[in-house]
Chains A and B, each alone.
Chain A
Amino acid sequence: MVCAGKTPEIQNRALKMLTYLIKRLLEMIPTLFGITLLSFFIIHLAPGKPTDILTELNPKITPEARLKLEKYYGLDKPIIVQYGMWLKRIVKLDFGESFSGDRRPVMERIWDTKKPLLERRLFITFLINVLSMLIIFIIAVPVGIFSATHQYSLYDKITTTSVFIGFAIPSFWLALLLMMLFGVHLGWLPISGLKSMNYDSLTLMEKIWDRTLHLLLPVFVSSFGGLAGLSRYMRGSMLEVLRQDYVTTARAKGLSEKRVIYGHALRNALLPIITLLGLSVPGLIGGSVIFENIFGIPGMGQLFFMGVMTRDYPLIMGILTIGAILTLIGNLLADIGYMLADPRIRVK
């Protein structure tokens, strides 16, 4: 009896889960539509046009020539028509052509399939962010746990202070100091870029080493500031779990402190981290304008910044749309992860 009853229950649950997923996916469509509509209008509200770089305060251009240029980029049409044209292309997954001088397709600027993987913008940003996220996790989770189990101890105070200092230091300033120390004074590390000038003449091992050296500072700087957030979350969540009855029960049962913390408490304390992981998915491709500019890294942050400065609408919209899709997917993944990990949510 007991065994027979279980199968339909599992089937039932799987079905529920599936309907939930479909519902969530369908909900994403109007959300995405709303996001793109708002983004489109907001970027067009900003003063300036993509043609400004050619026409602005350039006495050689006549008003007629300016109108012609605007027409060429389709900027003479009402904004709602422009949005419609954009939307029509986007449903075919065509992000259009960038408005910059060479008029390359937006997708090619983000993910140039003609180039090696290591030189595509999206991959560069992705690589740096994954590396720094790994470092953040590897350091912040133990730091958070230890601070929680040793609450108000000297150790807790020291780590708390230091992660907050890390959080408060402006990353551009830290980056410049490190470049001066390691790049100029000691000469150990390269200052900017992703590879050396003589890269092509290096052997494979030397190439890998060269790239690693170039990544050290950017990855360090971008993870340093992120430590504070995650370690504090971890600490808070762990403290909360440690106050729960089942932890007291576990201790009362006579389990070793190690088993109590790592066997029982940690698993539950990690739950909120799933949400954080989901939320960080769009950040993986967004990149950072500040450190990519400082280190001269040709990633997504730099591209987006350039796009905004030149009012390159198709490029900005392309990056925003990809970002929006990833945010929505990240949220969904986080919810699914939660459902899988936490039975209390599954029941609902």
Chain B
Amino acid sequence: MIPLIFGITLITFTVIHLTHRDLVGRETEPKETATYGDAVIEGTIGEPSTLIPMLAGDSASHSVAGMIFNGIVKYHTDLSVIGDLAESWTISSDGMVIVFRLKKGVKWADGVEFTADDVMFGYKTIIDEKTPTPYKEDYMQVKKFEVLDRYTFRVTYKKPFAPALTSWGNLVVLPKHLLEGKDITKSDFGRNPIGTGPYKLKKWVSGQEVVLDSNRSYFDGRPYIDRYIYRVIPDPATLFLELQAGGIDMMGLTPIQYTKQTDTDFFRKNFQKFRYPAFSYTYMGFNLRHPWFKDKRVRQAIAHAIDKSEIIDVVLFGLGSPATGPYVPNTWPYNPDVKKYEFDPGKAKRLLKEAGWEDTDGDGIIEKDGKPFQFTILTNMGNRLRINTATIIQWRLAKVGIKVEIRLLEWSTLINEFIDKRRFEAVILGWSIGLDPDQYDIWHSGKTREKEFNFVSYSNPLVDTLLEKGRRTFDIEERKKAYYKIQEILADDLPYVFLYVPDAIPIVHSRVKGIKPSPIGISYNLPKWYVPEKLQRYRIEP
């Protein structure tokens, strides 16, 4: 789905967020002890901007809206696609037509029944010229949208488009009866949304908190936790102090908080920590138009000169895993058998020598045609993890005779003035990756115009074909083959040195039970979380 870069707020302090995905689990049977009541307070540094999913660009908005709205489909914990508001669907053999059948009897929070007309309305709104949404693209591929009956609709595509299925998340589910004929950007629906989800908005105090109450008639069963509160605390240090003082029940930790600051009896007694790979990775990308980096051997030499496990140990306190390609380990598109670049400075030097780089004047820096090998790594200011990573790389590359400068830039300046204009030699950035493996926009050679995302100017005709193939078939085995091959090629071509996949490390108060960590995080089954009666802390008056 959407590989958004995560900017200044690396590993945002909300627990996990994946666009288009809804947080509801289906299969977890509540245990005997599950009781209703209590409130859970999540601390977050960012405040939502609007609760209409299609208008929101920030993760805070999506994570709150995800509690209020459902998608047509959602991801299962094993990353397969399952129905959310949809009972079932069928895909035509050529992959061009999908027919969705919706669950019957689902109600909006105001009591009106949810039907296929609402999806039609949402679809029409998102493709409307006047709707300022960044998510139009997937829906522009739709040739025809037809409502067959109250609970059935059919979408026809211009070409087979594999990511199409998962695009039917919560972006296109809007209550027609409340919004028809209104301009959604002007209505106050974004601050007073009505959804079908497990929670509904009780109140939103700007800059302080968003309070959600459980939807007692939720179609998938009344959530156990009566109230869910997002407390907005912009300062991460304050957030952590609030956790200790009991002002919040859950937050995302930083590596040092996870390994050191929460390693006390107080935390062991009162909190539970979780750890799972985040859907993102950090990389060092080369500008492949730069003459030195055009040579594959140079890129491979640099990969051999960098010790990934050292970076993970030092920067992430061990809370991450080495990245070998653009997918997260243990997910279906991930290919474990690609070429790996073990840490080997000797080999790095040999490769550089082959490419003509050698220290001829004895100053410790290698040269070619009289020019010393010296380049600048750009990264964004304020991201401690990336800055530390750059520093370690600088030190390691110095050992093989490459002089590296590090330049920190404010986020907007970095993107607008340097990345977009291709004025860089190397960058350290991260991609937050979606659950669908389609990465056409990042690797296809046609996506190198300004503002497009193949900013390293990578071009390989075979990869182009495979990317095209991967997004045109729904057959998961066929797709897997294509993406496995792409990873093999990328590992050899090395347009990026893939560095690490950080772990998401949320912490939750120990009175909250029923949390089942999974590859897609912990929040997916939030309506099934509960607090045993004698441990309940807050009494909620309905």
Residues of A within 8 A of B (CB): 46-48, 52-63, 65-66, 68-69, 72-73, 100-104, 109, 112, 119, 121, 172, 176, 179-180, 183-184, 187, 190-194, 197-198, 201, 293-299, 302-303, 306, 311
**Chain B residue at minimal CB-CB distance from A198:** B538
Contact count band on B: 35 or more
Known: A54-B57, A54-B134. 4 other contacts (CB 8 A): A47-B412, A47-B415, A63-B452, A191-B242
In the complex, whether B237 has a CB less than 8 A from a CB of chain A is yes
Provide the residues of chain B in CB contact with A69, threshold 8 Å. Answer: 132, 134
In the complex, whether B24 has a CB less than 8 A from a CB of chain A is no
The segment from B183-191, B304-312, B325-333, B363-371 that touches chain A is B183-191
Q: Is the CB of A179 within 8 A of B191?
A: no
In the complex, whether B55 has a CB less than 8 A from a CB of chain A is yes
Q: Is the CB of A184 within 8 A of B241?
A: yes
A sample of 27 inter-chain contacts (CB < 8 A) reads: A53-B58, A56-B415, A57-B5, A58-B2, A59-B3, A59-B441, A60-B134, A73-B132, A112-B206, A121-B207, A183-B245, A190-B245, A191-B245, A192-B241, A192-B242, A194-B208, A197-B229, A293-B234, A294-B237, A294-B238, A296-B238, A297-B207, A298-B205, A298-B207, A299-B207, A302-B234, A306-B47
Q: Is the CB of A103 within 8 A of B185?
A: yes
Question: Which of A54, A65, A102, A197 has most B Cβ within 10 Å?
Answer: A102
Pick the contact of B416 from A47, A73, A101 — CB < 8 Å? A47
Residues of B within 8 A of A (CB): 2-5, 7, 39, 41, 47-50, 52, 55-58, 61, 129-130, 132-138, 185-186, 188, 190-191, 205-209, 229, 231-235, 237-238, 241-242, 244-245, 247, 410-413, 415-417, 419, 439-442, 447, 449, 451-453, 538, 541
Q: Is the CB of B207 within 8 A of A54?
A: no
State in angstroms the CA–CA spacing of A299 and B238 once bound together: 17
**Chain A residue at minimal CB-CB distance from B138:** A60
Provide the residues of chain A in CB contact with B419, threshold 8 Å. Answer: 57
Minimum Cβ distance to chain B for residue A10 (Å): 51
Q: Is the CB of B453 within 8 A of A59?
A: yes
State in angstroms the CA–CA spacing of A304 and B238 once bound together: 20
Provide the residues of chain A in CB contact with B50, threshold 8 Å. Answer: 100-103
Q: Given A68-B129, A296-B234, do A197 and B538 touch, yes or no (CB 8 Å)?
A: yes
State in angstroms the CA–CA spacing of A65 and B188 once bound together: 24
Q: Is the CB of B57 within 8 A of A302?
A: no
Q: Is the CB of B451 within 8 A of A63?
A: yes
Q: Is the CB of A65 within 8 A of B186?
A: no
Q: Is the CB of A72 within 8 A of B208?
A: no
Provide the residues of chain A in CB contact with B440, threshold 8 Å. Answer: 59
Provide the residues of chain B in CB contact with A68, threshold 8 Å. Answer: 129, 132
Q: Is the CB of B238 within 8 A of A191?
A: yes
State in angstroms the CA–CA spacing of A184 and B453 once bound together: 45
Q: Is the CB of B412 within 8 A of A311?
A: yes
Provide the residues of chain A in CB contact with B129, threshold 8 Å. Answer: 68
State in angstroms the CA–CA spacing of A348 and B416 once bound together: 55
Q: Is the CB of B451 within 8 A of A66?
A: yes
State in angstroms the CA–CA spacing of A100 and B49 once bound together: 6
Provide the residues of chain B in CB contact with A55, threshold 8 Å. Answer: 57, 134, 451
Q: Given A57-B5, A191-B238, A296-B208, do A101 and B232 touch, yes or no (CB 8 Å)?
A: no
Q: Is the CB of A296 within 8 A of B233?
A: yes
Q: Is the CB of A101 within 8 A of B49?
A: yes
**Chain A residue at minimal CB-CB distance from B184:** A103
Provide the residues of chain B in CB contact with A180, threshold 8 Å. Answer: 241
Q: Is the CB of B207 within 8 A of A52?
A: no
Minimum Cβ distance to chain A for residue B207 (Å): 2
Pick the contact of A52 from B205, B410, B412 — CB < 8 Å? B412
Q: Is the CB of A101 within 8 A of B237?
A: no
Q: Is the CB of A58 within 8 A of B55?
A: no
Q: Is the CB of B135 within 8 A of A102?
A: no
**Chain A residue at minimal CB-CB distance from B419:** A57
Q: Given A298-B206, A298-B208, do A65 and B55 touch, yes or no (CB 8 Å)?
A: no
Minimum Cβ distance to chain B for residue A174 (Å): 13
State in angstroms the CA–CA spacing of A104 and B191 once bound together: 10
Q: Is the CB of B49 within 8 A of A57?
A: no
Provide the residues of chain B in CB contact with A101, threshold 8 Å. Answer: 48-50, 52, 55-58, 61, 190
Provide the residues of chain A in CB contact with B233, threshold 8 Å. Answer: 192-193, 296
Q: Is the CB of A54 within 8 A of B132?
A: yes
Provide the residues of chain B in CB contact with A61, threshold 8 Å. Answer: 134, 136-137
Minimum Cβ distance to chain B for residue A112 (Å): 8
Q: Is the CB of B137 within 8 A of A60?
A: yes
Minimum Cβ distance to chain B for residue A185 (Å): 9
Provide the residues of chain A in CB contact with B185, threshold 8 Å. Answer: 103
Q: Is the CB of A48 within 8 A of B416?
A: yes
State in angstroms the CA–CA spacing of A197 and B42 once bound together: 13
Provide the residues of chain B in CB contact with A183, threshold 8 Å. Answer: 241, 245
State in angstroms the CA–CA spacing of A307 and B191 once bound together: 18
State in angstroms the CA–CA spacing of A53 and B245 once bound together: 33
Q: Is the CB of A190 within 8 A of B247?
A: yes
Q: Is the CB of A179 within 8 A of B241?
A: yes
**Chain A residue at minimal CB-CB distance from B242:** A191
**Chain B residue at minimal CB-CB distance from A119:** B205
Provide the residues of chain A in CB contact with B5, threshold 8 Å. Answer: 56-57
State in angstroms the CA–CA spacing of A102 and B48 once bound together: 10
State in angstroms the CA–CA spacing of A52 and B416 once bound together: 10
State in angstroms the CA–CA spacing of A54 and B415 once bound together: 14
Minimum Cβ distance to chain A for residue B453 (Å): 5
Q: Is the CB of B234 within 8 A of A46?
A: no
Provide the residues of chain A in CB contact with B541, threshold 8 Å. Answer: 201
Minimum Cβ distance to chain A for residue B183 (Å): 10
Q: Given A54-B132, A60-B135, A61-B134, do A294 and B235 touch, yes or no (CB 8 Å)?
A: yes
State in angstroms the CA–CA spacing of A36 and B49 once bound together: 27
**Chain B residue at minimal CB-CB distance from A62:** B137
Minimum Cβ distance to chain B for residue A259 (Å): 50
Q: Is the CB of A102 within 8 A of B191?
A: yes
Question: Which of A100, A101, A112, A201 has most B Cβ within 10 Å?
Answer: A101
Q: Which 9 A-B pairs have the closest CB atoms?
A: A298-B207, A48-B412, A101-B50, A101-B49, A59-B441, A54-B57, A57-B5, A54-B134, A102-B50
Provide the residues of chain A in CB contact with B47, threshold 8 Å. Answer: 306
Provide the residues of chain A in CB contact with B415, threshold 8 Å. Answer: 47-48, 52, 56-57
Question: Which of B61, B206, B439, B451 has most A Cβ within 10 Å?
Answer: B206
Minimum Cβ distance to chain B for residue A210 (Å): 13
Q: Is the CB of B244 within 8 A of A184?
A: yes
Provide the residues of chain B in CB contact with A201, threshold 8 Å. Answer: 541
State in angstroms the CA–CA spacing of A55 and B442 once bound together: 15
Provide the residues of chain A in CB contact with B441, threshold 8 Å. Answer: 59-60
State in angstroms the CA–CA spacing of A302 and B205 once bound together: 14
State in angstroms the CA–CA spacing of A298 and B411 once bound together: 24
Question: Which of A57, A197, A198 has most B Cβ within 10 Å?
Answer: A57
Q: Is the CB of B207 within 8 A of A303?
A: yes
Minimum Cβ distance to chain B for residue A187 (Å): 7
**Chain A residue at minimal CB-CB distance from B185:** A103
Q: Is the CB of A193 within 8 A of B241?
A: no
Provide the residues of chain A in CB contact with B135, threshold 8 Å. Answer: 60
State in angstroms the CA–CA spacing of A201 and B540 once bound together: 10
Q: Given A59-B453, A101-B50, do A187 and B245 touch, yes or no (CB 8 Å)?
A: yes
Minimum Cβ distance to chain B for residue A258 (Å): 47
Provide the residues of chain B in CB contact with A179, threshold 8 Å. Answer: 238, 241
Pick the contact of A46 from B244, B245, B412 — CB < 8 Å? B412
Provide the residues of chain B in CB contact with A193, threshold 8 Å. Answer: 208-209, 231, 233, 247
State in angstroms the CA–CA spacing of A103 and B439 once bound together: 32
State in angstroms the CA–CA spacing of A104 and B129 once bound together: 21
**Chain A residue at minimal CB-CB distance from B247:** A191
**Chain B residue at minimal CB-CB distance from A297:** B207
**Chain A residue at minimal CB-CB distance from B6:** A57
State in angstroms the CA–CA spacing of A66 and B242 once bound together: 40
Q: Is the CB of B137 within 8 A of A192?
A: no
Minimum Cβ distance to chain B for residue A339 (Å): 41
